[in-house]
Chains A and B, each alone.
Chain A
Amino acid sequence: QQPVQSPQAVILREGEDAVINCSSSKALYSVHWYRQKHGEAPVFLMILLKGGEQMRHEKISASFNEKKQQSSLYLTASQLSYSGTYFCGTETSGTYKYIFGTGTRLKVLA
């Protein structure tokens, strides 16, 4: 079952904050976050593990809520370079198979 991301799309002004959520109906072992620019390959941002700490990549951080089987990506003081589509990639315990979320399109305006 594909994880559901919300919102589907968001438009920000430079300097504003945003939160992207990734929810799964299955128990998660790990969550990866990727950003994809139009027509390019996804680029890894960070990984969160079950029971692990909140991670950070520059001004982007993420958390993992085990009770809700949800991960959230926090973009603080957004920059123009943050524009793109964000995907979460989830792995349920023991499957060694990644399932990517539906994606969230983020556009940062000057």
Chain B
Amino acid sequence: DGGITQSPKYLFRKEGQNVTLSCEQNLNHDAMYWYRQDPGQGLRLIYYSQIVNDFQKGDIAEGYSVSREKKESFPLTVTSAQKNPTAFYLCAASVGGSPLDTQYFGPGTRLTVL
């Protein structure tokens, strides 16, 4: 069953701690994305990667870091430098980085920083 998995679904952390959100895909897609969604708001791009070992900052990259060592994995680390990390985080993948490509989303991780 192909798709994108994100774990965990809910995550609680203390303020000042780094936390890593997992995103795995078995679609064999080249491009992967991380978005942040706040209540009642749209999706904002954090980072994206069009190919293994390469990634670019999105619109709100400050306080976040990513890696893309394998095609199927694109973990996101929320660092203590992120001022307001509580949000719903969505990972997505597309065949390539072309504007013709559909983005397939994972189920999301809801991060709450206490």
Question: How many whole Å from B51's CB to the nearest CB in chain A?
Answer: 11
**Contact A29-B99, Cβ < 8 Å, known A41-B90, A42-B90:** yes
Stretch among A56-64, A71-79, A96-104 lining the B interface: A96-104
A40: interface (CB < 8 Å): yes
Q: Find out whether the CB atom of B45 lies under 8 angstroms from the CB atom of A97.
A: yes
B33: interface (CB < 8 Å): yes
Number of interface residues of A (CB under 8 A): 25
Question: Which residues on A sit within 8 Å (CB–CB) of B105?
Answer: 41-43
Question: How many whole Å from A17's CB to the nearest CB in chain B?
Answer: 24
Stretch among B36-44, B65-73, B76-84 lining the A interface: B36-44
Number of interface residues of B (CB under 8 A): 25
Question: Which residues on B sit within 8 Å (CB–CB) of A102?
Answer: 41-42
Majority DSSP secondary structure for residues of A touching B:
strand
Question: Which residues on A sit within 8 Å (CB–CB) of B99?
Answer: 29-30, 49, 91, 96
Question: Which residues on A sit within 8 Å (CB–CB) of B107?
Answer: 40-41
- Docked Cα-Cα span, A5 to B98, in Å, equals 23
* A102 to chain B: closest residue by CB: B42
Q: Find out whether the CB atom of A96 lies under 8 angstroms from the CB atom of B90.
A: no
- Docked Cα-Cα span, A43 to B104, in Å, equals 7
21 contacts between A and B (CB under 8 A): A30-B100, A32-B103, A39-B108, A41-B107, A42-B43, A43-B105, A49-B99, A87-B43, A89-B103, A96-B50, A96-B99, A97-B45, A97-B58, A98-B33, A98-B45, A99-B59, A100-B42, A101-B42, A102-B42, A103-B40, A103-B41
Q: Find out whether the CB atom of B100 lies under 8 angstroms from the CB atom of A99.
A: no
Near B by CB (< 8 A), chain A positions 33-73 give 34, 39-44, 47, 49
Question: Which residues on A sit within 8 Å (CB–CB) of B108?
Answer: 39-41
Q: Find out whether the CB atom of A87 lies under 8 angstroms from the CB atom of B100.
A: no
- Docked Cα-Cα span, A102 to B10, in Å, equals 24
